[in-house]
């Protein structure tokens, strides 16, 4: 296929895509829909990704004028992949609407983090209490009971700290927009 026909075909696909995207162009998406290697846009609307497609088409036309055929081939392949990705996204919009109807509201991660920090504080306090009782205890059976309680509390504290770490990573990812 010669370059002129390629540019015409890409122009046609992009104009069709423009018409299909227009009704949904400004709807924000709650999470990333496309791979970072495919799109460099960080926008949250389909319009942002469509604008990148149009910029790439202009770049291809410029490269054709400069007769840089290897770069044209690479960018044309990427552009075709971007167009296909946007078409797939448009095709799944009805499914995404249904999906959002059935998903529960997002949980308040900060509230959960505060709860887990409170659990950690209380568990540490309980462990200190049991350890001080263990030191003063002289009866073997009572010492064994306190040691079992301590082991159980330390296990709970370990799980609590794992949950805290998980929540902190989740908050970090959310704040970074991932």
Q: DSSP assignment, residue 31?
A: S
The candidate with the shortest Cα–Cα distance to 10, out of 72, 67, 91, is: 72
Q: Tell me the β-bridge partners of 45.
A: 28
Whether residue 24 has pLDDT greater than 80: no
Question: Is 106-176 a domain of CATH 1.10.760?
Answer: no
Q: How do the domains of the chain map onto residue ranges?
A: 2-101, 106-176
**What is the mean predicted confidence (pLDDT) over 118-128?**
94
Q: Which pLDDT tens digit goes with each residue over 27-83?
A: 776 566 777 778 887 677 788 888 888 998 899 889 888 888 888 888 888 888 888
Q: Quick check: 32 and 62 in contact, CB under 8 A?
A: no
The verdict on pTM exceeding 0.85 is no
Report how far residue 114's alpha carbon sits from residue 42's, in angstroms, rounded to the nearest whole number: 30
Cα torsion 58, 60, 62, 63 to 10°: value is: 160
- The answer to which of 91-95, 121-125, 141-145, 168-172 has the lowest mean pLDDT is 91-95
At residue 139, φ and ψ (nearest 5 deg) are: -80, 135
Cα torsion 43, 80, 98, 21 to 10°: value is: 70
Selecting from 3.20.20.70, 3.30.420.40, 1.20.1270.340, 1.10.357.10, what CATH number does the domain 2-101 have?
1.20.1270.340
Report how far residue 60's alpha carbon sits from residue 66's, in angstroms, rounded to the nearest whole number: 10
Whether residue 146 has pLDDT greater than 80: yes
Q: Three-class SS of residue 116?
A: helix
What is the maximum span of the chain, computed from C-alpha positions, in angstroms?
A: 93
Domains 2-101 and 106-176 fall in the same CATH topology: no
Report how far residue 178's alpha carbon sits from residue 175's, in angstroms, rounded to the nearest whole number: 8
Q: Three-class SS of residue 129?
A: helix
Q: Which pLDDT tens digit goes with each residue over 68-119?
A: 888 888 888 888 888 888 888 877 776 666 655 554 555 688 888 999 999 9
Q: Tell me the β-bridge partners of 28.
A: 45
pLDDT for the residue numbered 52: 87
**What is the mean predicted confidence (pLDDT) over 2-9?**
81
């Amino acid at each position: 296929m010669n370059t002129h026909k390629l540019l015409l075909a890409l122009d046609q696909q992009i104009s069709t895509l423009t018409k299909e995207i227009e009704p949904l162009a400004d709807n924000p998406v709650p999470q990333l829909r496309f791979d970072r290697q495919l799109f460099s846009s960080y926008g949250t609307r389909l319009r942002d990704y469509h604008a990148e497609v149009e910029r790439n088409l202009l770049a291809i036309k410029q490269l054709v004028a400069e007769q840089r055929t290897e770069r044209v081939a690479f960018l044309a392949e990427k552009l075709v992949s971007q167009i296909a990705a946007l078409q797939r996204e448009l095709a799944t919009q009805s499914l995404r609407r249904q999906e959002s109807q059935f998903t529960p509201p997002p949980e308040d991660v900060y509230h959960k983090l505060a709860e887990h920090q409170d659990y950690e504080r209380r568990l540490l306090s309980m462990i200190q209490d049991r350890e001080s009782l263990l030191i003063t205890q002289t009866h073997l059976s009572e010492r064994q009971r306190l040691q079992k309680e301590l082991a159980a509390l330390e296990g709970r504290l370990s799980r609590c700290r794992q949950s805290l770490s998980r929540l902190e990573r989740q908050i970090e990812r959310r704040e970074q927009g991932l």
